[in-house]
Structure 1
Amino acid sequence: MDFLLLDDRTNLKLSIIRKLEQQYSFSERKDVLCEELNISQYLLERSVTEINEDLKQFELIDDMELVEQSSEIILFQDAQVSSSVVEEKYLKDSLEFTLLQTIFFNQFTSIKKYGEKHGMSRTVVYKIVDRIRKELAQYEIKLSKNFQLVGNEWKIRQYFNMLYYRIYKDSDELYNQSDILAVQELFSEIKLYCEEVNTLYLFKHYLLITLERVKRKQHYFLPNSFKSVEFDQKNKIYQTVAQWSERTLKGTNREIEVEIRGIINQLSVYRLEFCDLENDVVTEYTERLKQQFQMNMQLSEIGPEFCTSVKMTIYQHQFITPLIDLTLRAIDLEFFHERYPIIFEMCHTFIYQLKEDEFKFSKKSLFFNLLLVLSQQYDEETDKNTINIYVNFTQGEKYNRFIKNQIQIFDSFSIHFQPVIRPDTDLIVSDYLPQVTFSARNLIWLAPPRASDWRNFGNEIVRINRELQLNKKRK
């Protein structure tokens, strides 16, 4: 899905920052960037100038800056800032998001008045509205002639829930103060039974959006096809939400009843007792994924039954957060590909075989969250593949111990240091080539090692780990 609340120019600037951010040296040659982004050098240099101007406007220039140096672009970046922070600033500042937010809060009157207020021509406002219409149309949401949000109320709420969470995270700065106080009242009551409620930011945005929509008499009814757990009305959290809803929400008994179910459903993102894990749809997808893993003998340690977390992940992405991909920025899954190659391939195959309309707006998040759940389960139930390393430098044993201690930072891998080179040695790290007949891979380092030496070491560890997982485990 295209994200149309950021224009092409802004997306290009974010892509430049992300490309540099992913580089080991935070720098890249101009010609390489131009080729990868399919742009001219003139456009690259102009974009770099604009990025720095934007960073000044966002008051981030002391923490991040792009510098042209001969044939390279270098990113200077403090630990307190990243491309994600810059993206949030761009989004809040975008003409599309600003106008859409005005529509959501029912403050948009006409194109003429909006243009006059913001110093824009009608043509410019029409173009912004057109991009918003295209953005919303992807989720079957429309704008009426008088600029009201029209469509499935559940999708409308899901869309803005994900969008506002993506931008504002734990902040409630955009909402009405009386609504904020009402939600804080509910949270203080729920906290007696759910200590972590104050950190449930996605749920908080949903409640605030619900209050805004109900205020405008925009209630919703769960679709007939929706399958959820039969809530235990004796559950203390359920009772608390029900009592709060009856006090706070206006509507018929049926409307308030459905709103209560909607609120409890949103809590199932965090609370297992509100998930229907025996749902037929969940069972079907779980079986599909299980079949992928059963085809690989190397994953037999995970066991015949998938963990509850897998079912919960599928349930939530199908029923509770179907538009959650809206919250995603650019994510790099290379760590999982390197550390858990078989799990990665099986999950990738599972996602690839889904039809276009299956998890239509949550495929990326489902892929990522399945990797999280299954990699954790793999570590808990499976012994790590041990990588045997022989370290020997001409500086002597004290220096060897120093290098071994530094290597231990790769703690996501199981590394064993061997006192001598053996047939099962996977890697030799030294400052010379030992005279051995075994086929172990050699890495020649300077003393002390350079950044490039560590990079080469990391690449070798990843390669060895992959081979050990793909082959039968060493006895």
Structure 2
Amino acid sequence: MDFLLLDDRTNIKLAIIRKLEQHYSFSERKDTLCEQLTISQYLLERSILEINEDLKRFDLNDEMELIEQSNEIILFQEAQISSSVVEENYLKDSLEFTLLQTIFFNQFKSIKKYGEEHNMSRTVVYKIIDRIRQELAQYSIKLSKTFQLVGDEMKIRQYFTMLYYRIYKDSDELYNQSDILSVNEIFSAIKPYCEEINTFYLFKHYLFVMLERVKKKRKYFLSSTVYSASFDTENRVYQTINHWIRQIITGTNREIEVEIMGIISQFSVYQSELCNFENELVDTYTLQLKQQILMYPQLTMKSQELENKVSRTIYQHQYITPLIDLTLRVMDLDFFQERYPIIFEVCHIFIYQLKKDEFKFSKKSLFFNLLLVLSEQYDEESEKSTINIHVNFTQGEKYNRFIKKQIQIFDSFSIHFQSVIRPDTDLIVSDYLPKNTFSARTLIWLAPPRASDWRNFGNEIVQINKKLQLNRNRAQ
């Protein structure tokens, strides 16, 4: 889905930063950047100037700067900053987000009034509202004539929970003091039963959004089409939330019970044991993934615990956080594809086979979380494929030991060093080509190695690891 709270120009600027920071040298030729982003050189150069001005405005210019050097753009970036931080600032500063936030907090009076307060013409305000309408329409949320949020209350709460979490993370600066005190109160009450609750930031934003919506008398009535997990009402966390909610909101028992169900559902993202996740549709999806896994003998899903984890992950993305892709930024999943090629393929096929409307706003997150669940289980149950490497440079044994020590930074792979080249040697790293290499792949390095030598080494390790995993599959 399109994210329309940032305009096209801002998205181009963010794309430039991301391209540069993903490059191992933090630099790229202008013509290459223009080709990759399909923009003119004039727009690229103009955008570079604007980015640096924006960084000054956000007080980030000491941590990041873009420099033009001949036909090259170079990104200077400190360790404390990334494109994600810049995006947060762009979002907080965007006209669309600022106006939408005013609508959410019921502070928008009229187009005329808003334009006067922000020195904008009515035409500009109309254009901003039009983009907001388009953004919300993707999630079946509308703006009424009086600029009230209209639609499924669960979707409205989900949308703003995910949006505010994406921008503010662990900060509560957006919310009013009375709501902050209320949320801190329930967090303190739950802490004896859940020590890590202070890190449950997504849950915290849900509580803030819930409190704001309840003030507007927007009740969380679950529709008949929404499946709700059953909860253990004897659980101390349930009882604590029940006591808290009845102190801060008024309503019928049915309304209050539904609010408690909404809160517990969100809490179960972190504490899954609170809920019973049995569901026929979830079982169907779990079986589909299981069938993919069975195609690879080295992958198993015999453990009931693993099957439960998969089912809970699917349930969460289907029912509890159906709009969670809103929280995602650009993700590079190369590590998973390189380290766990078969698991990556299984999850990719499962996601690819889903229909367009299935997990419509949570597909990316579901893919990522299934990778996490299955890779964790794979590491627990399987030995890593050992890669046999022979290192020998003309500089002698002391230099060989130095190179081996540097190679060990690739700790996500199981590497074994061989003193001589053997038939089972997978890779030879040297500054000359040995006469007998058997079937081993060979890398010729300069001494000391260049960045390109390390890059080539990483590529070789990935290919060998994939081959070993596939060969183990065939052997089994």
Q: Distance in 1 between matches of 2:154 and 2:25?
A: 45
Partners of 1:233 and 1:361 lie apart in 2 by 31
* Contact 1:276–1:315 (CA under 8 A) maintained in structure 2: no
Q: Does 2:144 correspond to 1:148?
A: no
> Is the 2:27–2:72 contact (alpha carbons within 8 Å) kept by the matching residues of 1?
yes
**How far apart, CA to CA, are the structure 2 residues paired with 1:472 and 1:382?**
11
Partner residue in 1 for 2:287: 287
- The aligned counterpart of 1:398 is 398
Contact 2:309 2:373 in 1 (8 A): yes
- Corresponding position of 2:97: 97
- CA deviations on 1:424-452 (whole Å, 9 max, x unpaired) are 11100011111105121111111111111
Work out the CA distance in 2 between the residues paired with 1:365 and 1:93: 26
Q: Deviations over 1:399-439 (max 9, x none)?
A: 11111111000000000101110111110001111110512
Kept in 1, the 8 Å contact 2:21–2:75? The answer is yes
Q: Is the 8 A contact 1:275 1:315 kept in 2?
A: no
Q: Residue deviations 1:349-392, cap 9 Å, x none? A: 10011011110100000001111111111111111111110000
d(CA) in 2 for partners of 1:29, 1:309: 46
**Aligned residues of 2:230 and 2:275 also touching (Cα < 8 A):** no
Q: 1:470 deviation in Å?
A: 1.9
Counterparts of 1:224-235 in structure 2, within 5 Å, are: 224-235=224-235
Describe how 1:275-424 pairs up with structure 2 within 5 A. 275-300=275-300, 303=302, 305=304, 306-424=306-424
Structure-to-structure mapping, 1:76-475, within 5 angstroms = 76-300=76-300, 303=302, 305=304, 306-472=306-472
- TM-score, length of structure 2 as denominator length: 0.98
Equivalent-residue separation in structure 1 for 2:307 and 2:460 (angstroms)? 32
1:26 deviates by: 0.4
1:68-100 CA deviation, whole Å, 9 max, x = no partner? 111110000000000000000000000000000
Relative to structure 1, the CA distance from residue 433 to residue 241 in structure 2 (aligned partners, 3 Å threshold; closer, same or farther) is: same
Deviation at 1:297, TM superposition (A): 2.5
Q: Cα deviations across residues 269-310 of structure 1 (Å, max 9, x unaligned)?
A: 01122233322122111000000111123324x546544221
Alpha-carbon distance in 1 for matches of 2:341, 2:437: 30
**Paired amino acid for 1:417:** F
Contact 2:30 2:41 (8 Å CA) reproduced: yes
- Structure 1 position 17 matched with structure 2 position 11: no
Aligned to 1:68, the other structure's residue is in SS state strand
Residues 28 and 73 in structure 1, CA contact (< 8 A), matched pair in contact too:
yes
Structure 1 CA distance for aligned equivalents of residues 134 and 435 of structure 2: 66
- Partner AA of 2:155 in structure 1: K
Distance 2:226 2:273 in 1: 17
Residue in 1 that maps onto 2:56: 56
Whether the 8 Å contact between 2:429 and 2:443 is mirrored in structure 1 is: yes
Q: Secondary structure of the residue that 2:193 maps to in structure 1? A: coil
Alpha-carbon distance in 1 for matches of 2:193, 2:83: 37
Closer/same/farther in 2, CA of residues 437 and 339 from structure 1, 3 Å limit: closer
User: What do residues 89-145 of structure 1 show as CA deviations (whole Å, max 9, x unaligned)?
Assistant: 000000000000000000000000000100000000000000000000000000000
Alpha-carbon offset, residue 226 of structure 1? 2.6
**SS of structure 1 residue aligned to 2:230:** coil
Counterpart amino acid of residue 56 in structure 2: K
In 1, Cα distance between equivalents of 2:440 and 2:230:
59
> How far apart, CA to CA, are the structure 2 residues paired with 1:350 and 1:184?
40
Paired AA for residue 267 in structure 1: F
Q: Structure 2: how far apart are the matches of 1:162 and 1:437?
A: 54
After superposition, the CA RMSD in angstroms is: 1.2
Partner SS, residue 471 of structure 1: helix
| Cα distance in structure 1, aligned partners of 2:472 and 2:379 | 17
**Is residue 228–residue 275 contact of structure 1 (8 Å, CA) maintained in 2?**
no
Contact preservation (8 Å) 2:390, 2:429: yes
Contact 2:221 2:258 in 1 (8 A): yes
Aligned residues of 1:166 and 1:327 also touching (Cα < 8 A): yes
Distance 1:276 1:130 in 2: 42
What residue number does 1:3 align with? 3
Q: Which amino acid aligns with 2:239?
A: Q
- Letter of the 1:135 partner, please give it: E
Alpha-carbon distance in 2 for matches of 1:410, 1:282: 37
> What is the CA–CA distance in structure 2 between the aligned matches of 1:190 and 1:142, rounded to whole Å?
35
Q: Distance in 2 between matches of 1:230 and 1:136?
A: 30
**Residue segments in structure 2 that go unaligned for 5+ positions in a row:** none
* 1:222 Cα deviation from its structure 2 partner: 1.2
Q: How many residues align?
A: 474
Q: Render the CA deviation track for 1:304-352: whole Å, top value 9, x for unaligned.
A: 6544221111110011000000000111111111111111111011001
> Structure 1 residue 468: deviation in Å?
1.1
CA distance in 1, matches of 2:429, 2:411: 17
Counterpart AA for 2:162: M
CA distance in 1, matches of 2:435, 2:405: 25
> Per the alignment, in what secondary structure is the counterpart of residue 472 of structure 2?
coil
Task: Say which is worse superposed, 86-95 or 268-277, in terms of deviation.
Answer: 268-277
Distance in 2 separating the partners of 1:407 and 1:356: 43
**Using the alignment, how far apart are the partners of 1:252 and 1:228 within structure 2?**
19
Query: For 1:225-268, what per-residue CA distance to the aligned partner results, in whole angstroms no more than 9, with x for missing partners?
Result: 33333212111000000000000112222111110111111111
Secondary structure in 2 matching 1:73: strand
Contact 1:298–1:470, Cα closer than 8 Å, also in 2:
no
